[in-house]
Amino acid sequence: MEKGKKLSLILFSGDYDKAMAALILANSARELGMTVNIFFAFWGLCLIRDPEKMSLEDKTAFETMFGIAAPNGPEDLPLSRMNMAGLGKAMLKKMMAEHDAPDLTAFLKGAQKKGVNFFICKLSLEIMGFKKEEMIQGSQVLTATEYLQDALDADIELFI
Residue pair 144/123 in contact (Cβ under 8 Å)? The answer is yes
Q: Determine the pLDDT at residue 144.
A: 97
Q: Which one-letter DSSP state was computed for residue 135?
A: B
Q: Determine the pLDDT at residue 58.
A: 87
Residue pair 130/136 in contact (Cβ under 8 Å)? The answer is no
Res 33 pLDDT > 70: yes
**pLDDT per position as a tens digit, 56-102:** 888 889 888 888 889 989 999 999 999 898 899 999 999 999 999 99
Give me the mean pLDDT over the 19-45 stretch: 97
Polymer length in residues for the chain? 160
- Our CA angle for 128, 134, 135, nearest 5°, is 90
Res 49 pLDDT > 70: yes
Res 51 pLDDT > 60: yes
Beta bridge partners of 10: 39, 159
Q: Determine the pLDDT at residue 2.
A: 54
Give me the mean pLDDT over the 40-47 stretch: 97
CB atoms within 10 A of CB 41: 22
Domains of the chain: 6-159 (3.40.1260.10)
Query: pTM for this structure?
Result: 0.92
